[in-house]
Structure 1
Protein backbone atom coordinates (compact mmCIF):
# COMPACT_ATOMS: atom_id res chain seq x y z
CA UNK A 1 0.00 0.00 0.00
CA UNK A 2 1.05 3.57 -0.57
CA UNK A 3 1.47 4.27 3.13
CA UNK A 4 4.34 1.83 3.13
CA UNK A 5 6.07 3.82 0.45
CA UNK A 6 5.53 7.35 1.68
CA UNK A 7 7.06 10.39 -0.13
CA UNK A 8 10.78 10.85 -0.41
CA UNK A 9 13.14 13.17 -2.17
CA UNK A 10 14.28 13.61 -5.98
CA UNK A 11 12.48 14.31 -9.41
CA UNK A 12 13.33 15.00 -13.03
CA UNK A 13 12.03 12.94 -15.98
CA UNK A 14 13.23 13.28 -19.57
CA UNK A 15 10.71 13.47 -22.36
CA UNK A 16 11.01 11.83 -25.74
CA UNK A 17 11.05 15.23 -27.40
CA UNK A 18 13.06 17.39 -25.04
CA UNK A 19 14.97 15.49 -22.38
CA UNK A 20 15.17 16.26 -18.68
CA UNK A 21 17.55 18.36 -16.65
CA UNK A 22 19.99 16.61 -14.36
CA UNK A 23 19.81 16.95 -10.61
CA UNK A 24 22.00 15.70 -7.80
CA UNK A 25 20.89 12.25 -6.57
CA UNK A 26 19.62 11.53 -3.08
CA UNK A 27 21.10 8.74 -1.01
CA UNK A 28 19.16 5.48 -0.70
CA UNK A 29 19.29 5.85 3.06
CA UNK A 30 17.68 9.26 2.87
CA UNK A 31 15.03 7.87 0.56
CA UNK A 32 14.26 4.97 2.88
CA UNK A 33 13.95 7.31 5.83
CA UNK A 34 11.48 9.37 3.88
CA UNK A 35 9.30 6.36 3.08
CA UNK A 36 7.47 6.64 6.40
CA UNK A 37 3.72 6.15 6.82
CA UNK A 38 1.69 8.26 4.44
CA UNK A 39 -1.88 8.16 3.16
CA UNK A 40 -2.88 8.65 -0.43
CA UNK A 41 -4.78 11.83 0.26
CA UNK A 42 -2.12 13.80 2.18
CA UNK A 43 -2.07 17.39 0.93
CA UNK A 44 1.14 19.18 0.14
CA UNK A 45 1.95 22.82 0.83
CA UNK A 46 3.39 25.35 -1.57
CA UNK A 47 2.52 28.15 -3.91
CA UNK A 48 -0.29 27.76 -6.44
CA UNK A 49 0.20 27.38 -10.16
CA UNK A 50 0.10 30.46 -12.34
CA UNK A 51 -2.94 28.86 -13.96
CA UNK A 52 -5.11 29.15 -10.84
CA UNK A 53 -8.02 30.63 -12.74
CA UNK A 54 -8.20 27.47 -14.85
CA UNK A 55 -7.83 24.98 -12.04
CA UNK A 56 -10.66 22.60 -11.30
CA UNK A 57 -12.45 22.91 -7.96
CA UNK A 58 -13.18 19.85 -5.81
CA UNK A 59 -16.81 19.99 -6.97
CA UNK A 60 -15.78 20.11 -10.62
CA UNK A 61 -13.38 17.21 -10.10
CA UNK A 62 -16.21 15.22 -8.56
CA UNK A 63 -18.51 16.02 -11.47
CA UNK A 64 -15.80 15.08 -13.95
CA UNK A 65 -15.38 11.71 -12.34
CA UNK A 66 -19.09 11.02 -11.97
CA UNK A 67 -19.39 9.98 -15.62
CA UNK A 68 -16.15 8.02 -15.53
CA UNK A 69 -15.97 6.13 -12.22
CA UNK A 70 -12.52 5.57 -10.80
CA UNK A 71 -10.84 4.64 -7.56
CA UNK A 72 -8.06 7.15 -7.12
CA UNK A 73 -6.54 5.77 -3.90
CA UNK A 74 -6.35 2.16 -5.14
CA UNK A 75 -5.02 3.06 -8.57
CA UNK A 76 -2.51 5.53 -7.15
CA UNK A 77 -1.29 2.90 -4.68
CA UNK A 78 -0.72 0.39 -7.46
CA UNK A 79 1.11 2.86 -9.68
CA UNK A 80 3.30 4.31 -6.96
CA UNK A 81 4.13 1.00 -5.32
CA UNK A 82 5.32 -0.31 -8.69
CA UNK A 83 7.21 2.92 -9.31
CA UNK A 84 8.98 2.66 -5.97
CA UNK A 85 10.11 -0.85 -6.85
CA UNK A 86 11.82 0.59 -9.93
CA UNK A 87 13.96 3.18 -8.12
CA UNK A 88 17.48 2.99 -9.52
CA UNK A 89 16.36 1.77 -12.96
CA UNK A 90 18.65 3.45 -15.47
CA UNK A 91 17.67 6.45 -17.52
CA UNK A 92 17.52 5.97 -21.26
CA UNK A 93 16.31 8.54 -23.77
CA UNK A 94 13.36 6.99 -25.59
CA UNK A 95 13.21 4.09 -23.10
CA UNK A 96 9.82 2.61 -22.20
CA UNK A 97 10.61 -0.64 -20.38
CA UNK A 98 12.37 -1.78 -17.22
CA UNK A 99 14.83 -3.79 -19.28
CA UNK A 100 15.82 -0.92 -21.56
CA UNK A 101 15.50 1.89 -19.02
CA UNK A 102 13.13 4.85 -19.06
CA UNK A 103 12.98 8.47 -20.01
CA UNK A 104 10.51 10.59 -18.05
CA UNK A 105 7.41 10.11 -20.19
CA UNK A 106 8.33 6.48 -20.85
CA UNK A 107 8.39 5.79 -17.11
CA UNK A 108 4.99 7.41 -16.55
CA UNK A 109 3.45 5.67 -19.53
CA UNK A 110 4.78 2.31 -18.38
CA UNK A 111 3.32 2.62 -14.88
CA UNK A 112 -0.09 3.87 -15.99
CA UNK A 113 -0.33 1.18 -18.66
CA UNK A 114 0.82 -1.70 -16.46
CA UNK A 115 -0.93 -0.76 -13.22
CA UNK A 116 -4.00 1.19 -14.34
CA UNK A 117 -4.60 -0.07 -17.87
CA UNK A 118 -4.33 3.47 -19.25
CA UNK A 119 -2.52 4.45 -22.43
CA UNK A 120 -1.09 7.94 -22.08
CA UNK A 121 0.56 9.94 -24.89
CA UNK A 122 4.21 9.08 -25.48
CA UNK A 123 5.78 12.53 -25.12
CA UNK A 124 5.49 15.11 -22.35
CA UNK A 125 4.33 17.69 -24.89
CA UNK A 126 1.35 15.49 -25.72
CA UNK A 127 0.88 14.22 -22.18
CA UNK A 128 0.38 17.71 -20.75
CA UNK A 129 -2.53 18.18 -23.16
CA UNK A 130 -4.58 15.15 -22.05
CA UNK A 131 -8.19 16.01 -21.24
CA UNK A 132 -7.83 15.57 -17.50
CA UNK A 133 -8.62 17.99 -14.64
CA UNK A 134 -5.85 20.47 -13.89
CA UNK A 135 -5.20 20.82 -10.15
CA UNK A 136 -3.52 23.43 -8.00
CA UNK A 137 -0.22 22.63 -6.37
CA UNK A 138 -1.78 22.89 -2.92
CA UNK A 139 -4.45 20.35 -3.88
CA UNK A 140 -2.20 17.61 -5.26
CA UNK A 141 -3.00 13.95 -4.58
CA UNK A 142 -0.80 10.88 -5.02
CA UNK A 143 -0.89 9.77 -8.64
CA UNK A 144 -1.24 13.27 -10.13
CA UNK A 145 1.06 14.08 -13.05
CA UNK A 146 3.52 16.94 -12.61
CA UNK A 147 4.95 18.91 -15.52
CA UNK A 148 8.10 21.02 -15.61
CA UNK A 149 9.93 23.36 -17.94
CA UNK A 150 13.57 22.44 -17.39
CA UNK A 151 15.02 23.81 -20.61
CA UNK A 152 14.46 27.48 -19.82
CA UNK A 153 12.09 28.02 -22.73
CA UNK A 154 8.83 27.97 -20.80
CA UNK A 155 7.66 24.80 -22.54
CA UNK A 156 7.11 21.44 -20.92
CA UNK A 157 10.21 19.26 -21.06
CA UNK A 158 9.92 16.93 -18.06
CA UNK A 159 7.28 15.08 -16.04
CA UNK A 160 6.86 13.03 -12.89
CA UNK A 161 4.23 11.46 -10.64
CA UNK A 162 3.26 12.99 -7.30
CA UNK A 163 3.79 10.76 -4.27
CA UNK A 164 2.49 12.95 -1.47
CA UNK A 165 4.14 15.14 1.18
CA UNK A 166 5.60 17.35 -1.57
CA UNK A 167 7.56 14.44 -3.07
CA UNK A 168 7.43 12.93 -6.56
CA UNK A 169 8.97 10.07 -8.49
CA UNK A 170 10.41 10.28 -11.99
CA UNK A 171 13.08 9.05 -14.36
CA UNK A 172 15.53 11.90 -14.07
CA UNK A 173 18.71 11.57 -16.12
CA UNK A 174 21.79 9.40 -16.48
CA UNK A 175 23.82 11.69 -14.26
CA UNK A 176 21.29 11.66 -11.44
CA UNK A 177 20.70 7.92 -11.44
CA UNK A 178 17.55 7.30 -13.47
CA UNK A 179 14.36 6.57 -11.53
CA UNK A 180 14.43 8.46 -8.26
CA UNK A 181 12.41 10.59 -5.86
CA UNK A 182 12.72 14.34 -5.45
CA UNK A 183 11.05 17.13 -3.53
CA UNK A 184 8.69 19.52 -5.26
CA UNK A 185 9.74 21.98 -2.59
CA UNK A 186 13.31 21.96 -3.86
CA UNK A 187 14.13 25.37 -5.35
CA UNK A 188 14.95 23.91 -8.76
CA UNK A 189 11.73 21.94 -9.11
CA UNK A 190 9.58 24.63 -7.56
CA UNK A 191 10.93 27.16 -10.03
CA UNK A 192 10.47 24.95 -13.11
CA UNK A 193 7.04 23.54 -12.14
CA UNK A 194 4.36 24.38 -14.72
CA UNK A 195 1.17 22.54 -13.78
CA UNK A 196 -0.37 19.29 -12.60
CA UNK A 197 -3.14 17.11 -13.98
CA UNK A 198 -5.23 14.33 -12.44
CA UNK A 199 -4.94 11.78 -15.24
CA UNK A 200 -6.42 9.05 -13.04
CA UNK A 201 -9.75 10.87 -13.30
CA UNK A 202 -9.90 9.50 -16.84
CA UNK A 203 -9.85 5.90 -15.62
CA UNK A 204 -13.12 4.11 -16.33
CA UNK A 205 -14.95 0.98 -15.10
CA UNK A 206 -12.71 -1.34 -17.14
CA UNK A 207 -9.65 0.13 -15.48
CA UNK A 208 -11.16 -0.27 -12.02
CA UNK A 209 -12.16 -3.89 -12.59
CA UNK A 210 -8.57 -4.98 -13.15
CA UNK A 211 -7.58 -3.83 -9.65
Structure 2
Protein backbone atom coordinates (compact mmCIF):
# COMPACT_ATOMS: atom_id res chain seq x y z
CA UNK A 1 0.00 0.00 0.00
CA UNK A 2 1.02 3.58 -0.66
CA UNK A 3 -0.26 6.71 1.06
CA UNK A 4 -3.88 6.84 2.26
CA UNK A 5 -6.14 9.53 3.69
CA UNK A 6 -7.83 9.20 7.07
CA UNK A 7 -10.63 11.50 8.18
CA UNK A 8 -13.13 11.76 11.00
CA UNK A 9 -13.26 10.62 14.61
CA UNK A 10 -16.92 9.82 15.23
CA UNK A 11 -18.57 8.35 18.29
CA UNK A 12 -21.70 7.81 16.16
CA UNK A 13 -21.14 5.18 13.47
CA UNK A 14 -23.87 6.70 11.31
CA UNK A 15 -21.78 9.84 10.84
CA UNK A 16 -18.94 7.70 9.54
CA UNK A 17 -21.36 5.92 7.21
CA UNK A 18 -22.65 9.24 5.85
CA UNK A 19 -19.09 10.34 5.12
CA UNK A 20 -18.40 7.07 3.29
CA UNK A 21 -21.57 7.64 1.26
CA UNK A 22 -20.48 11.18 0.37
CA UNK A 23 -17.11 9.90 -0.82
CA UNK A 24 -18.77 7.11 -2.78
CA UNK A 25 -20.84 9.69 -4.68
CA UNK A 26 -17.52 11.08 -5.88
CA UNK A 27 -16.35 7.60 -6.92
CA UNK A 28 -13.99 7.35 -3.96
CA UNK A 29 -13.97 3.91 -2.34
CA UNK A 30 -13.70 4.37 1.42
CA UNK A 31 -14.06 2.25 4.53
CA UNK A 32 -14.97 3.09 8.08
CA UNK A 33 -13.52 1.23 11.02
CA UNK A 34 -13.43 1.42 14.79
CA UNK A 35 -9.96 2.16 16.12
CA UNK A 36 -8.50 1.35 19.53
CA UNK A 37 -10.06 4.51 21.03
CA UNK A 38 -13.53 3.24 20.14
CA UNK A 39 -14.10 6.05 17.64
CA UNK A 40 -15.08 5.43 14.02
CA UNK A 41 -12.71 6.72 11.36
CA UNK A 42 -12.77 6.68 7.56
CA UNK A 43 -9.88 5.81 5.28
CA UNK A 44 -9.47 5.84 1.51
CA UNK A 45 -6.92 5.96 -1.30
CA UNK A 46 -3.69 4.27 -2.33
CA UNK A 47 -1.44 7.04 -3.61
CA UNK A 48 2.17 6.54 -4.79
CA UNK A 49 3.39 9.83 -3.28
CA UNK A 50 2.49 12.00 -0.32
CA UNK A 51 2.02 14.95 -2.68
CA UNK A 52 -0.68 13.12 -4.64
CA UNK A 53 -2.41 12.14 -1.41
CA UNK A 54 -2.44 15.75 -0.23
CA UNK A 55 -3.73 16.97 -3.59
CA UNK A 56 -6.64 14.51 -3.57
CA UNK A 57 -7.52 15.32 0.04
CA UNK A 58 -7.28 19.08 -0.54
CA UNK A 59 -9.65 18.78 -3.51
CA UNK A 60 -12.23 16.96 -1.38
CA UNK A 61 -11.75 19.43 1.48
CA UNK A 62 -12.27 22.43 -0.80
CA UNK A 63 -15.45 20.78 -2.09
CA UNK A 64 -16.70 20.47 1.48
CA UNK A 65 -16.75 16.67 1.43
CA UNK A 66 -14.16 16.19 4.17
CA UNK A 67 -12.74 18.33 6.94
CA UNK A 68 -9.39 17.91 8.60
CA UNK A 69 -7.46 14.92 7.34
CA UNK A 70 -4.39 12.87 8.09
CA UNK A 71 -2.11 11.25 5.54
CA UNK A 72 -1.36 7.65 6.47
CA UNK A 73 2.16 6.79 5.39
CA UNK A 74 3.26 3.32 4.27
CA UNK A 75 5.34 3.04 7.43
CA UNK A 76 2.22 3.64 9.56
CA UNK A 77 0.55 0.40 8.49
CA UNK A 78 0.74 -2.72 10.60
CA UNK A 79 2.70 -4.47 7.84
CA UNK A 80 5.54 -1.96 8.29
CA UNK A 81 5.85 -2.79 11.98
CA UNK A 82 6.62 -6.47 11.50
CA UNK A 83 10.37 -5.82 11.68
CA UNK A 84 9.91 -4.56 15.23
CA UNK A 85 7.08 -6.73 16.51
CA UNK A 86 7.07 -9.77 14.25
CA UNK A 87 4.52 -11.26 11.90
CA UNK A 88 2.29 -12.45 14.76
CA UNK A 89 1.52 -8.81 15.59
CA UNK A 90 0.36 -8.19 12.02
CA UNK A 91 -1.81 -11.30 12.14
CA UNK A 92 -3.50 -10.09 15.31
CA UNK A 93 -4.10 -6.67 13.75
CA UNK A 94 -5.74 -8.25 10.70
CA UNK A 95 -8.14 -10.22 12.90
CA UNK A 96 -8.84 -7.17 15.06
CA UNK A 97 -9.68 -5.15 11.95
CA UNK A 98 -12.01 -7.88 10.69
CA UNK A 99 -13.74 -8.00 14.08
CA UNK A 100 -14.51 -4.28 13.83
CA UNK A 101 -16.79 -5.04 10.86
CA UNK A 102 -18.83 -7.76 12.59
CA UNK A 103 -22.51 -6.87 12.32
CA UNK A 104 -22.18 -5.05 8.97
CA UNK A 105 -24.79 -6.10 6.41
CA UNK A 106 -24.00 -8.10 3.30
CA UNK A 107 -24.55 -7.19 -0.35
CA UNK A 108 -23.06 -9.02 -3.33
CA UNK A 109 -20.38 -6.90 -4.96
CA UNK A 110 -20.27 -4.44 -2.09
CA UNK A 111 -16.92 -3.07 -1.00
CA UNK A 112 -18.06 -0.29 1.30
CA UNK A 113 -19.70 -0.81 4.70
CA UNK A 114 -22.77 1.33 4.03
CA UNK A 115 -23.63 -0.93 1.07
CA UNK A 116 -22.43 -4.06 2.79
CA UNK A 117 -19.48 -6.26 1.92
CA UNK A 118 -19.37 -9.32 -0.21
CA UNK A 119 -17.01 -11.92 1.18
CA UNK A 120 -13.99 -10.96 -0.94
CA UNK A 121 -14.68 -7.24 -0.48
CA UNK A 122 -14.37 -7.71 3.27
CA UNK A 123 -10.99 -9.41 2.83
CA UNK A 124 -9.78 -6.60 0.54
CA UNK A 125 -10.82 -3.88 3.01
CA UNK A 126 -9.31 -5.60 6.05
CA UNK A 127 -5.99 -6.19 4.32
CA UNK A 128 -5.83 -2.66 2.90
CA UNK A 129 -6.38 -1.16 6.34
CA UNK A 130 -3.26 -3.03 7.40
CA UNK A 131 -1.20 -1.99 4.38
CA UNK A 132 -1.67 -5.00 2.10
CA UNK A 133 -3.38 -5.27 -1.27
CA UNK A 134 -5.40 -8.31 -2.34
CA UNK A 135 -7.00 -9.24 -5.68
CA UNK A 136 -10.70 -8.37 -5.86
CA UNK A 137 -12.48 -11.72 -6.24
CA UNK A 138 -12.32 -14.83 -4.06
CA UNK A 139 -11.04 -16.93 -6.97
CA UNK A 140 -8.24 -14.46 -7.69
CA UNK A 141 -7.37 -14.35 -4.00
CA UNK A 142 -7.23 -18.14 -3.87
CA UNK A 143 -4.82 -18.27 -6.81
CA UNK A 144 -2.62 -15.47 -5.45
CA UNK A 145 -1.95 -16.88 -1.99
CA UNK A 146 0.47 -19.55 -0.81
CA UNK A 147 -1.28 -22.83 0.17
CA UNK A 148 -1.67 -23.58 3.88
CA UNK A 149 -2.81 -26.94 5.24
CA UNK A 150 -5.91 -26.77 7.38
CA UNK A 151 -4.02 -27.84 10.48
CA UNK A 152 -1.43 -25.09 9.91
CA UNK A 153 -3.81 -22.15 9.49
CA UNK A 154 -2.83 -19.03 11.40
CA UNK A 155 -4.65 -15.81 12.25
CA UNK A 156 -5.10 -13.57 9.22
CA UNK A 157 -4.93 -16.36 6.64
CA UNK A 158 -7.84 -16.67 4.23
CA UNK A 159 -10.04 -19.76 4.02
CA UNK A 160 -11.91 -20.62 0.82
CA UNK A 161 -15.07 -22.53 0.04
CA UNK A 162 -16.93 -23.85 -3.00
CA UNK A 163 -20.49 -22.79 -2.22
CA UNK A 164 -21.98 -23.00 -5.71
CA UNK A 165 -22.85 -26.09 -7.71
CA UNK A 166 -19.90 -25.69 -10.08
CA UNK A 167 -17.55 -26.57 -7.16
CA UNK A 168 -15.30 -23.62 -7.92
CA UNK A 169 -14.06 -21.24 -5.24
CA UNK A 170 -16.86 -18.76 -4.57
CA UNK A 171 -16.54 -17.77 -0.91
CA UNK A 172 -13.78 -16.56 1.42
CA UNK A 173 -13.36 -15.82 5.10
CA UNK A 174 -10.58 -14.55 7.37
CA UNK A 175 -9.23 -17.14 9.78
CA UNK A 176 -9.40 -15.86 13.37
CA UNK A 177 -7.84 -18.78 15.24
CA UNK A 178 -9.29 -21.66 17.26
CA UNK A 179 -11.16 -23.01 14.25
CA UNK A 180 -13.15 -19.80 13.74
CA UNK A 181 -13.34 -17.51 10.73
CA UNK A 182 -14.95 -14.13 10.05
CA UNK A 183 -16.92 -13.68 6.84
CA UNK A 184 -19.89 -12.15 5.05
CA UNK A 185 -22.06 -15.29 4.82
CA UNK A 186 -24.70 -14.20 2.32
CA UNK A 187 -27.17 -11.59 1.18
CA UNK A 188 -29.11 -10.11 4.08
CA UNK A 189 -26.81 -11.67 6.68
CA UNK A 190 -24.33 -9.64 8.76
CA UNK A 191 -20.61 -10.30 8.95
CA UNK A 192 -20.02 -12.82 11.72
CA UNK A 193 -17.92 -15.62 13.14
CA UNK A 194 -18.44 -19.21 12.02
CA UNK A 195 -16.66 -22.49 12.70
CA UNK A 196 -14.68 -24.38 10.07
CA UNK A 197 -15.90 -27.63 11.61
CA UNK A 198 -19.53 -26.67 10.98
CA UNK A 199 -20.89 -29.32 8.61
CA UNK A 200 -21.97 -26.79 5.98
CA UNK A 201 -18.55 -25.16 5.72
CA UNK A 202 -16.44 -28.25 6.36
CA UNK A 203 -18.08 -30.07 3.46
CA UNK A 204 -17.45 -27.12 1.13
CA UNK A 205 -13.94 -26.25 2.29
CA UNK A 206 -11.40 -25.92 -0.55
CA UNK A 207 -8.28 -24.72 1.23
CA UNK A 208 -6.40 -21.99 3.04
CA UNK A 209 -4.04 -19.37 1.68
CA UNK A 210 -1.54 -17.05 3.30
CA UNK A 211 -0.13 -13.75 2.02
CA UNK A 212 2.18 -13.03 4.95
Please, what TM-score do these two structures have when normalized by structure 2?
Answer: 0.58
Larger Rg: 2
Structure 1 Cα separation of the partners of residues 177 and 208 of structure 2: 13
Q: 2:178 aligns with which of 161, 165, 189?
A: 165
Structure 2 residue aligned with 1:126: 140
TM-score by length of 1: 0.58
Q: Which residue of 126, 145, 161 corresponds with 1:148? A: 161
Return the alpha-carbon distance in structure 1 between the equivalents of residues 93 and 116 of structure 2: 20
> Where in structure 2 are there 5+ consecutive unaligned residues?
1-81
Provide the residue aligned with 2:93 in structure 1: 78
Report how far residue 198 of structure 1 moved: 0.9
Query: Aligned partners of 1:152 and 1:120: how far apart in 2?
Result: 25
Unpaired segments ≥5 residues, structure 1:
1-67, 202-211
Aligned residue in 1 for 2:198 = 186
**CA distance in structure 2 between the partners assigned to 1:72 and 1:92 by the alignment:** 32
Q: What is the root-mean-square deviation of aligned Cα atoms in Å?
A: 1.7
Q: Secondary structure at the match of 1:161?
A: strand
The alignment covers a number of residue pairs equal to 130
Structure 2 residue matching 1:128: 3-state secondary structure: helix
Q: Distance in 2 between matches of 1:106 and 1:72?
A: 23
Give the CA deviation at 1:124: 0.8
Contact 1:79 1:112 in 2 (8 A): yes
- Partner deviation per Cα, 1:129-157 (whole Å, 9 max, x = no partner): 10x32111011111111010001322000
